[in-house]
């Protein structure tokens, strides 16, 4: 039998006592989580982490004395293994700050609750702490297991042969830990691509626009938040806007267009990866290269199945480099992948497949 995982130790850092209490009550519903500290500013968080180990710090970005952006690198210096989830206001300024935190090493971001979204926020923060905390503890425990009891390595997964046709479209799906993975992936794609790129990252409105702006700065290509009817251009990244599904639609000639949809959430997500992939398969006649990056849940799994059934290819980020191996693990375990690779090797495989004759 596998040894039990240790409890996930959490520090809450927010200048609002009301918000700290809300988060503490939410986390107390899980026996897997232990709140080890609750502090009111970044300076206290850094000092507390020096003497009270934590697996996860829930960090507000706007606080007196020391804000979250200033505290973040100091927390990571005290404990490079700590996972930091930042919380910011659902505003353009808050979204920009959250994306700066993600580029600086935060594992995930949340938008702070309003009076009518507190219940949803409580469920969301608990789910993210559990997913990130379990992942943080799982690999050290797996390493201590007898060889016969260890999880199956990626090398033992069933892989699909390389596609026979050059793709017409690159489609990327990501969630928890996705922004950092996207910064690395897109920066690694140094050569121009002849294919348009569509991207669904689970994020709320305003955050996706800020994500597109940040991605434009880290790579050699333009990245925009998709608009309804926008032409999908080669070597440009088109990001699904928060709370809208991004679909691919046939345009005049061989052109492809973005179509935004308010249809119901799928996999509890809007935007969702699955409808994007289904529409891409129809328009590109199966010639779709799909990349599934780190994220909670299994969004993208049914869409990836449609891709491979139509003759396309799927790549997945491996477990060791993922913040959460939910989405990529779902497609890998289902035998849908052409390759399961560390994040720093995905760009080279994408280049190889997109330039194939």
Model confidence pLDDT, tens digit, residues 18-42: 999 999 999 999 999 999 999 999 9
Q: Does any domain span residue 136?
A: yes
Q: Which residues are catalytic?
A: 175, 202, 299
Q: Are residues 124 and 187 in the same domain?
A: no
Q: Are residues 195 and 293 in the same domain?
A: yes
pLDDT over 90, % of the chain? 79
d(CA 322, CA 180): 10
Res. 91: pLDDT tops 90: no
Q: Are residues 269 and 326 in the same domain?
A: yes
Number of folded domains in the chain?
2
Res. 140: pLDDT tops 80: no
Q: Are residues 210 and 110 in the same domain?
A: no
Please report how many Cα atoms fall inside a 13 Å half-sphere around the Cα of residue 182, on the Cβ side.
35
Domain containing residue 330: CATH number: 3.40.50.180
Residue 271 preceded by cis peptide, ω within 30: yes
What local confidence, expressed as pLDDT, does residue 92 receive? 82
Query: Alpha-carbon torsion 140, 146, 151, 154, what sign?
Result: positive
DSSP 166-221: --SEEEEEE-TTHHHHHHHHHHH--SPPSS-EEEEE---TTHHHHHHHHHHHHSSS
Tell me the β-bridge partners of 34.
9
Q: Answer for the pair 128, 85: CB distance below 8 angstroms, yes or no.
A: yes
- Residue 130: which residues within 8 A CB-CB, separation 6 or more? 8, 30, 32, 33
Average model confidence (pLDDT) across the chain: 91
Q: Are residues 174 and 274 in the same domain?
A: yes
What local confidence, expressed as pLDDT, does residue 162 receive? 82
d(CA 355, CA 357): 6
pLDDT band at 139 (very low <50, low <70, confident <90, very high): low
What local confidence, expressed as pLDDT, does residue 143 receive? 41
d(CA 80, CA 89): 26
Q: Does any domain span residue 61?
A: yes
Q: Does any domain span residue 337?
A: yes
Last residue of a domain, one of 118, 144, 170: 144
Last residue of a domain, one of 144, 171, 199: 144
Q: Number of helices (H) and strands (E), helices first, in the chain?
A: 11, 14
Domain containing residue 40: CATH number: 3.40.50.2300
Q: Are residues 244 and 329 in the same domain?
A: yes
Q: Are residues 138 and 276 in the same domain?
A: no
Query: Alpha-carbon torsion 153, 162, 303, 247, what sign?
Result: positive
Res. 4: pLDDT tops 60: yes
Q: Does any domain span residue 3?
A: no
For 260-308, write each residue's pLDDT tens digit: 999 999 999 999 999 999 999 999 999 999 999 999 999 999 999 999 9
Last residue of a domain, one of 79, 109, 144: 144
CA distances (Å), origin 163, targets 180, 262, 288: 28, 33, 10
d(CA 289, CA 131): 27
Q: Does any domain span residue 310?
A: yes
User: For residue 276, what are its two tokens?
Assistant: 């994007």
CA distances (Å), origin 277, targets 159, 282, 291: 20, 9, 11
d(CA 207, CA 96): 7
Q: Are residues 79 and 130 in the same domain?
A: yes
Q: Does any domain span residue 334?
A: yes
Q: Does any domain span residue 2?
A: no
DSSP 68-108: HHHHHHHHHHH-TT-EEEEEE-SSHHHHHHHHHHHHTT-SE
d(CA 62, CA 72): 12
d(CA 286, CA 163): 10
Q: Are residues 135 and 224 in the same domain?
A: no
Q: Are residues 78 and 221 in the same domain?
A: no
Q: Answer for the pair 332, 290: CB distance below 8 angstroms, yes or no.
A: no
d(CA 59, CA 266): 29
- Residue 56: which residues within 8 A CB-CB, separation 6 or more? 8, 9, 10, 11, 82, 83, 84, 85, 107, 129, 132, 133, 136
pLDDT band at 137 (very low <50, low <70, confident <90, very high): confident
Q: Are residues 133 and 185 in the same domain?
A: no
Q: Which domain holds residue 125?
A: 8-144
d(CA 38, CA 35): 8
For 182-198, what is the mean pLDDT? Answer: 96
Q: Does any domain span residue 149?
A: no
Q: Are residues 84 and 193 in the same domain?
A: no
What local confidence, expressed as pLDDT, does residue 93 receive? 84
Res. 141: pLDDT tops 90: no
For 309-356, write each residue's pLDDT tens digit: 999 999 999 999 999 999 999 999 999 999 999 999 999 999 999 987
What is the DSSP code (8-state) at residue 119?
H
């Amino acid at each position: 039998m596998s040894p039990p995982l240790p409890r996930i130790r959490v520090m809450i850092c927010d200048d609002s006592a009301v918000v700290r209490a809300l988060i503490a009550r939410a986390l107390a519903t899980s026996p897997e989580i232990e709140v080890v500290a609750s502090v009111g500013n970044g300076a206290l968080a850094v000092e507390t982490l020096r003497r009270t180990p934590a697996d996860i710090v829930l960090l507000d970005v706007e606080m007196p004395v020391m804000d979250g952006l200033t505290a973040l690198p100091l927390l990571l210096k005290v404990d490079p293994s700590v996972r930091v989830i930042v919380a910011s206001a659902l505003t353009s300024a808050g979204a920009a700050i959250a994306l700066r935190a993600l580029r600086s090493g935060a594992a995930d971001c949340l938008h702070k609750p309003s009076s009518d979204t507190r219940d949803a926020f409580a469920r969301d923060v608990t789910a993210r702490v559990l997913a990130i905390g379990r992942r943080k503890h799982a690999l050290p425990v797996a390493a201590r297991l007898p060889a016969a009891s260890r999880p199956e390595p990626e090398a033992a997964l069933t892989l699909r042969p390389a596609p026979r046709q050059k793709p017409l479209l690159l489609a990327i799906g990501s969630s928890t830990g996705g922004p950092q993975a996207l910064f690395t992936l897109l920066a690694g794609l140094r050569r121009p691509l002849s294919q348009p790129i569509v991207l669904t990252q689970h994020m709320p409105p305003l955050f996706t626009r800020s994500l597109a702006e940040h991605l434009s700065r880290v790579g050699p290509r333009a990245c925009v938040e998709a608009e309804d009817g926008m032409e999908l251009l080669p070597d440009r990244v088109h990001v699904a806007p928060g709370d809208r599904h991004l679909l691919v639609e046939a345009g005049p000639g061989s052109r492809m267009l973005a179509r935004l949809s308010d249809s119901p959430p799928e996999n509890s997500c809007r935007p969702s990866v699955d409808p994007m992939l289904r529409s891409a398969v129809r328009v590109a006649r199966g010639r779709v290269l799909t990349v599934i990056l780190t994220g909670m849940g299994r969004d993208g799994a049914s869409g990836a199945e449609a891709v491979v059934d139509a003759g396309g290819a799927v790549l997945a980020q491996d477990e060791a480099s993922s913040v959460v191996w939910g989405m990529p693990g779902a497609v890998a375990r289902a035998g849908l992948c052409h390759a399961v690779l560390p994040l720093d090797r995905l760009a080279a495989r994408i280049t190889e497949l997109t330039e194939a004759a």
